[in-house]
Amino acid sequence: MLQRILQSVAVDRRIVPLLKRKKMYLKVLYSLLLVLIFYGIPSTGQKKKETLLSEKVGQLMDWTGKRSVIRMNGEKFRRFVKAPPRNYSVIIMFTALQPQRQCGVCKQADEEYQILANSWRYSNAFTNRVFFATVDFDEGSDVFQMLNMNSAPTFIHFPAKGKPKKSDTYELQVRGFAAEQLARWVGDRTDVQIRVIRPPNYAGPLMLGFLLAVIGGLAYLRRNNLEFLYNRNVWAFSALCFCLIMTSGQMWNHIRGPPYAHKNPNTGQVSYIHGSSQAQFVAETHIVLLFNCAVTLGMVLLHEAATSDMDIGKRKIMCIGGICLVMLFFSWLLSIFRAKYHGYPYSFLMS
């Protein structure tokens, strides 16, 4: 509708210079007639489209009011996204959320997408220019066929005018599916700037509070016997755990999120150690943690063997066990390191 009016205004503007230059009344009449024709002939179709459009927008707004991401099936998709009278953009996530599809990425992407849609839905700038929708493979597989798509999740922007171009498909591989990235892409495509507001994560503080409550409760229950707070073994053990966790690179895992291990798709062989020294698998860090732990244990055993007041046989066993732990696991660690750090010349016991 709006476009129509704009078009006619444009026609009018074109007419004005004509008026000035030619000064021919006949022409004016003619052009007036033309205007009338423009207004007159399509008016019935126009009205129909207008009502259809407002109906569609109303329907979409209604849905958005209920859920910020509209779920679509094939029929809805054809009606609201494919069918022509539109003055709104639709961002659609094509996904496969059913559990039997086993799409882990889809779930993460869905969460981010929900955050984005909610940020838009509850922002002050919310208008009916952009809608967020999703099509699940199990509800609208015909849509997938229609668009010739075979991977999920995929984000596609359907602009208000024309067909989606190449850049209307979000480059998931390159940009990731963080809500902020999606928002930038939406901003690029539709000029609607969305400020992503993540709902504050209450899980962390809640867990912390719960933990504190449990500890406090325990302390209260055992208030007659708070000796365990003075137990050095507990403290030493937790400090050791923390150190071992950090030195085995768990922080790297936490930040980078590497896979647990790598399975070679051709041979089916599972490798637990990453070949390069710049990266690591989760399994590998667990192994290293264990090895470090064993060496530490060996050192402590050596010390205990010399100082404890057990009988001599046990102490000898402790001593030998300790030195074996230290030597064995250290040289094993060294060999793993050697496998990763190419060109390292030294090894011990095993290569």
User: Which residues would be at the binding site for other proteins (CB under 8 A)?
Assistant: 171, 173-175, 184, 188, 200, 232-233, 235-236, 239-240, 242-244, 246-252, 254-256, 277-280, 284-285, 288, 291-293, 295-296, 299-300, 302-303, 305-309, 312, 315-316, 319-320, 323, 326-327, 329-330, 333, 337, 340-341, 343-346, 348
Nearer to other proteins, 18 or 244 (CB): 244
Asked if 132 and 120 count as a contact pair (C-beta separation under 8 A), the reply is yes
Query: Helix 232-247 vs helix 282-307: angle between axes, to the nearest 10 degrees?
Result: 140
Q: Token pair for residue 200?
A: 């504050």
Q: Which is nearer to other proteins, 109 or 133 (CB)?
A: 109
Residues 6+ apart with CB under 8 A from 296: 240, 244
Q: What is the DSSP string of 101-164?
A: G--HHHHHHHHHHHHHHHHHHTSTT--TTEEEEEEETTT-HHHHHHHT---SSEEEEE-SSS--
Q: Nearest distance from residue 253's CB to other proteins, in Å?
A: 9
> Mapping DSSP to helix (H, G, I), strand (E, B) and coil, where does residue 30 land?
helix
What is the nearest approach in angstroms of other proteins to the Cβ of residue 151?
13
- Tell the smallest beta-carbon distance from residue 154 to other proteins (Å): 14
- In whole angstroms, the minimum distance from the beta carbon of 164 to other proteins comes to 15
CA–CA separation, 326 vs 292, rounded Å?
A: 9
Residue (147 or 282) nearer to other proteins, CB: 282
Q: Which is nearer to other proteins, 154 or 280 (CB)?
A: 280
Contact 164, 156 (CB under 8 A): yes
Could you tell me if 93 and 134 are in contact, meaning their C-beta atoms sit under 8 angstroms apart?
A: yes
First-last CA distance in the chain: 78
Minimal distance, residue 191 CB to other proteins, in Å: 11
**Least distance CB 288 / other proteins (angstroms):** 5
Comparison of 47 and 195: residue with beta carbon closer to other proteins: 195
> Least distance (Å) from other proteins to the CB of residue 74?
28
- What number of H helices and E strands is found in the chain? 13, 6
Tell which residue, 61, 53, 155, has the closest CA to residue 105. Answer: 155
Residue 58 or 187 having the CB closest to other proteins:
187
User: Cβ of residue 208: shortest distance to other proteins, in angstroms?
Assistant: 11
Query: Order of strands, edge to edge, in the sheet holding 89-95?
Result: 70-72, 130-136, 89-95, 154-158
For other proteins, the closer CB: 52 or 319: 319
Question: Which is closer to other proteins, CB of 48 or CB of 303?
Answer: 303
How far is CA 270 from each of CA 62, 256, 262, 264, 291, rounded to the nearest angstrom? 51, 21, 6, 6, 20
30 backbone dihedrals φ, ψ, rounded to 5°: -60, -45
Distance, in Å, from the CA atom of 38 to the CA atom of 6, rounded to the nearest integer, reads 12
- Closest approach, Cβ 325 to other proteins, in A, equals 11
Q: At its nearest, how many Å lie between other proteins and the CB of residue 29?
A: 32
In the complex with other proteins, the residue whose CB is nearer, 80 or 291, is 291
Q: Which is nearer to other proteins, 10 or 279 (CB)?
A: 279
Rounded to the nearest 10 degrees, how much is the dihedral formed by the CA atoms of 220, 225, 229, 233?
Answer: -140
Tokens of 328: 């064995």
